Structure 1
Amino acid sequence: MSTAEPRPPQTQFTLGPDRLDLYLVRTPQGREAALLDRSELDDAERRRAGSFRHPAHALLYTTAHIALRRLLGRQLGVAPRDLRFLREPCPGCGAPHGRPAVAMAGPPLHFSLSHSGGLVLIGVAAVAVGVDVQRLPREETVEVASAALHAGERAELGRRVRGADRTGHFGRLWTRKEAYLKAIGTGLHRSPARDYLGADSAVHPPGWTVLDVACPPTHSAAAVVRGRRPRFVDVHRLDGRWLCTPDTPDALAIATTISTHGEVTT
């Protein structure tokens, strides 16, 4: 895996037909956590954040949704608090629980959001995209959850020794799978055993590109995008302090986006 030279910090967020942008955000801690700008959330999001029993889960949810609103607001030229979301029809049953989308006309914009264990991953593209990030599971979780994998994936996992190698491999398989199911709009309503997303990319679902996303060693992350691999695939690490200030043009000086092609592998 080659590593490109880091690009200078962006002055604006971009969207193009041949690029995929992935944003990693850690939950702010201490005083910064108390300063999160919750005014940009809608009533439903505030109620959801208030429903969590554990403060860490509420903080993660809040961080994720403020970040999503700010990123999409910049893409669309809309104030984050003014964004409205809807669900596309499910490709399986037609009910409104498919991919999330922005409820406004404009150029094609697709996004996906995932969060786990203090880390948020957001994908933005001009074509359908799904992302997933998960804290690496414990060994006993792998033993139970592996039964839900495709037969070919279970065979690959069975060749792994116990320990970090096995849990890491399972994490890659599972995040690829959830990212794919988000990208096609079914989520786990579609059986995880139905589609193969293992080591042999030649037999991955046709018409989709599967990417592993480099992240901290405590987590695994993946992105799936419709069509061939985009020419530009960048990972941006956003400083959580950005979410504690008004979303002004100067906020990017705080956000400090770092972008490298070498963060993603096929």
Structure 2
Amino acid sequence: MELNEEGPAHGAAMSVADALGARGEAHVWWWRTPEHTDPADLPLLDTEEFRRALSLPAERDAAAFVRSRAAARRALAGLFGLDPREIALGRSACPGCGDGSHGPPKLLVPALRLPLSLTRTAGCGIFAVGAGTSIGVDAEAVRPVRCSATTDADLTVPERAHLAALEPGPRRDAAFYRIWTRKEAVVKATGLGLSGVELGLLETHPARGGPVRVTHTHRGRTTAWTVEDLPLLDGVAVALARPAGPAAHGPVHRHGNR
């Protein structure tokens, strides 16, 4: 069903978006991904998403992909008071190369300028929407890391030193994924992805509990981001990046579905 941008439903959604922006808020939803595709999720996918799901060889991967796309629509529908079938998602052009196939997710219907970010890791998916011009969320299932992680070229010198000072085990594992999710949340928020910066230059200040300020430089332009860790699910590291400054410093509302 098409949503009339001039109708009352669109007006109500716009009011919600305006209130979110005025308060500088963000909303984050998370869910466990199923082993098998849920038929109830399929009607919420668009044609391209349906084709992509069919192309995934592993059923678990297809089920996780389908659930993530459906869950994002349900999240937005709940926020705006709409039917999930009224939500249309697309992609913005990559700010680095202009390619529309790998830019950040975009809300097409209702046509509101709200930044979105979606991520998946083993067993769960996470979706974020917020105030300001952009947002980035990343999640990684925490697992044992190799000893050579302390010399990884994608880490800064202070990050390597922080890891090297920790004994191998759960604390070092958690610290490594805190670093990694902070980095990925920032590059997702920029819309450039991993190709947009040398990760070894992106300092995440892992010794600090957060929120932390992280700067990102691309083609001579430096942007600043406020990054915080979100304790949402056991065994999963999650970081959220929002533009530094007052426009996006409101509370983060968390909506879990364990």
- Check whether the contact 1:27–1:60 (CA below 8 A) recurs between aligned residues: yes
Greater Cα shift, 203-212 or 137-146 = 137-146
Alignment-derived partner of residue 201 in structure 2:
194
* Corresponding letter in the other structure for 2:236: H
Deviations 1:220-241 (A, max 9, x none): 11100113362221211036xx
The reply on whether 1:184 has 2:190 as its aligned counterpart is yes
Task: Give me the whole-angstrom Cα distance separating, in 1, the residues matched to 2:91 and 2:125.
Answer: 21
Alignment-derived partner of residue 230 in structure 1:
249
SS for the counterpart of 1:198 is coil
* Corresponding letter in the other structure for 2:45: L
- Identity rate, percent: 29
Match of 2:54 among 50, 53, 74: 50
The reply on whether 1:67 has 2:71 as its aligned counterpart is yes
Alignment-derived partner of residue 6 in structure 2:
none
Greater Cα shift, 181-190 or 104-113 = 104-113
Match of 2:163 among 144, 157, 160: 157
The 5-angstrom pairing of residues 136-155 of structure 1 reads 136-140=142-146, 143=149, 146-155=152-161
Task: Give me the whole-angstrom Cα distance separating, in 2, the residues matched to 1:114 and 1:194.
Answer: 23
The alignment's TM-score, normalised by the length of structure 2, stands at 0.76
* Corresponding letter in the other structure for 1:234: H
Deviations 1:23-51 (A, max 9, x none): 11112468xx6443311111211122222
- Check whether the contact 2:38–2:63 (CA below 8 A) recurs between aligned residues: no
SS for the counterpart of 1:147 is coil
- Check whether the contact 1:23–1:121 (CA below 8 A) recurs between aligned residues: yes
Alignment-derived partner of residue 5 in structure 2:
none
Report how far residue 76 of structure 1 moved.
5.0
Structure with larger RCO (C-alpha < 8 A, sep 6+): 1
Report how far residue 123 of structure 1 moved.
0.7
Alignment-derived partner of residue 95 in structure 1:
99
* Corresponding letter in the other structure for 1:101: K
Structure-2 change in CA distance of 1:233 and 1:203 (3 Å): closer
Structure-2 change in CA distance of 1:36 and 1:25 (3 Å): same
Task: Give me the whole-angstrom Cα distance separating, in 2, the residues matched to 1:104 and 1:150.
Answer: 41
- Check whether the contact 1:130–1:181 (CA below 8 A) recurs between aligned residues: yes
Task: Give me the whole-angstrom Cα distance separating, in 2, the residues matched to 1:188 and 1:39.
Answer: 32
SS for the counterpart of 2:256 is strand
Task: Give me the whole-angstrom Cα distance separating, in 1, the residues matched to 2:64 and 2:115.
Answer: 22
Report how far residue 173 of structure 1 moved.
0.7
The alignment's TM-score, normalised by the length of structure 1, stands at 0.74
- Check whether the contact 1:136–1:218 (CA below 8 A) recurs between aligned residues: yes
Structure-2 change in CA distance of 1:94 and 1:28 (3 Å): closer
* Corresponding letter in the other structure for 1:89: A
Deviations 1:59-93 (A, max 9, x none): 11111110012222344565434544333233333
The unaligned stretches of length 5 or more in structure 1 are: 1-11, 240-266
* Corresponding letter in the other structure for 1:69: R
Task: Give me the whole-angstrom Cα distance separating, in 2, the residues matched to 1:70 and 1:141.
Answer: 41
SS for the counterpart of 1:204 is strand
Count of matched residue positions in the alignment of Structure 1 and Structure 2: 226
The reply on whether 1:115 has 2:130 as its aligned counterpart is no
* Corresponding letter in the other structure for 1:156: H
- Check whether the contact 1:129–1:182 (CA below 8 A) recurs between aligned residues: yes
Task: Give me the whole-angstrom Cα distance separating, in 1, the residues matched to 2:175 and 2:81.
Answer: 40
The unaligned stretches of length 5 or more in structure 2 are: 1-12, 216-222
Alpha-carbon RMSD across the aligned residues, in angstroms, is 2.8
Match of 1:41 among 38, 41, 45: 45
Match of 2:179 among 146, 150, 173: 173
- Check whether the contact 2:150–2:163 (CA below 8 A) recurs between aligned residues: no
